[in-house]
Chain A
Amino acid sequence: DAGVTQSPTHLIKTRGQQVTLRCSPKSGHDTVSWYQQALGQGPQFIFQYYEEEERQRGNFPDRFSGHQFPNYSSELNVNALLLGDSALYLCASSLMPRRSGYTFGSGTRLTVV
């Protein structure tokens, strides 16, 4: 039973560039949430996708956008990268309605230089 898969595992980008991160949810899950975890901090909620729509959004600027595909996989896009966007980006999947804790992927480590 495949868990949550994220790609790539590491990424280095230059300020001002755009980046796309990908997530495949755990088998049987239909909901994907994205979190940003800066060094020494807890994960911060970015947004959640269900039925290919953004259902909920955290306190992140419009530079952060996403998409969910019919197979439930998801992408996180960040435009006009800033140094402060450097972080571990975690994807979590769950089944709507949620009955237990989310399953997290291993994340994508994004470094903006």
Chain B
Amino acid sequence: EDKVVQSPLSLVVHEGDTVTLNCSYEVTNFRSLLWYKQEKKAPTFLFMLTSSGIEKKSGRLSSILDKKELSSILNITATQTGDSAIYLCAARNSNSGYALNFGKGTSLLVTP
């Protein structure tokens, strides 16, 4: 059975800190890994990583896929209070069509 595990489950940092969120996956016929940010309710798309695109960056956020270790990290530099949210990692396999298999998420709180 496919499995996605995120760590830590929660994290509290001070504004300006750099954080690293982890996601490991056990997915047969892996196709892609996606990161979402969930504030209040609607998850918003951050990155999609595939075998052909293992590193993505957008502003202070960046993500890397380690195909050998079957894991991914999401880095946030110079954190701001607006970064406080739940960060979700999801994997797709070739057999699952468009279904996303999500981890439980990491709850990040950035304090002033």
Contacts and interface: CB of A to CB of B under 8 A. Distances in A.
The B interface is mostly helix, strand or loop, or mixed, namely strand
Interface of A: 4, 31, 33, 35, 40-45, 48, 55-56, 58, 88, 90, 94, 98, 100-107, 109
Contacts of A43: 43, 88, 90, 100, 102
Interface residues of B, number: 24
B44 interface: yes
Given A35-B100, A90-B43, 6 more contacts: A42-B104, A43-B90, A55-B97, A55-B98, A103-B45, A107-B41
Contacts of A94: 98
Given A101-B34, A101-B36, A45 B100 contact: yes
Interface in B61-112: 88, 90, 96-105
Contact of A45 (B41, B48, B101, B104): B101
Nearest to A46: B99
Nearest to B96: A56
